[in-house]
Amino acid sequence: MRLNYAALAGLVNATLMMALFTVVSPCVAAQGKTVLMIGDSLTAGLGLPRAQSIPERLEVALQAAGLAARIINAGVSGDTTAGGRARIGWALSEKPDAVILELGANDGLRGLDPKATYENLDVIIAKIIRSGARVLLTGMKAPPNLGTEYGGEFNQIFPRLAAKHRIALMPFFLDGVAGIAELNQDDAIHPNEHGVSIVVGNLLPYVTRLLQEGPHE
């Protein structure tokens, strides 16, 4: 069974782009690339119209920046890093050029062992790298009610993994959105359309750089 594809909205014609630029720019070089975004409800777009999900909005933002990239929404609401580890091989059958790895929030919300979260993400990243795809790891933060000891260990998972595998890291996926009522839905966890705009704006430069790089060596 194949993953559901995000709707393609106004792909930029490569021939037109070549006519607009007299030299080959990084944007032109990145035309036609596929990005897999594997994550939980934040990726899936829980509580939002499909067109307002982060992958859909990111695809539109990339197109506006001159990058005709296709974003595959591989978000599963409620997913943990263990769930992502179980399905990463299937997800990579799409043969993406790059992967945005957005998992870990549910591990933190459930107070799961940070060592297990680290191990699961470690395996996922290694599999992505072996596929030749570039990786952007998006960091998460533990809920403050779980205490400073748990929070300190959990929050270090993402920079440790980025350093180990030498991959790009977006330090906090919900930066500028988490804890701000007017940017979140009534559950105070999932961004609303305004919050999604901020997340996409934060993501855009990371993904742009990712698409301008060659395959992972």
Exactly one of 97, 131, 190, 216 is catalytic; which is it? 190
Q: Is 77 annotated in the active site?
A: no
Q: How many CA atoms lie within 13 A of 55 on its CB side?
A: 30
Crossing angle for the helix pair 54-64 and 193-212, to the nearest 10 degrees: 60
- Cα 200 from Cα 23, distance rounded (Å): 28
- Cα 145 from Cα 207, distance rounded (Å): 32
Q: Is 190 annotated in the active site?
A: yes
Q: Is 187 annotated in the active site?
A: yes
Assign 167 to helix, strand or coil.
coil
Query: In the β-sheet with 70-75, what is the strand arrangement from edge to edge?
Result: 70-75, 34-39, 98-102, 134-138, 168-170
Exactly one of 40, 41, 53, 79 is catalytic; which is it? 41
Q: Cite the active site residues.
A: 41, 187, 190
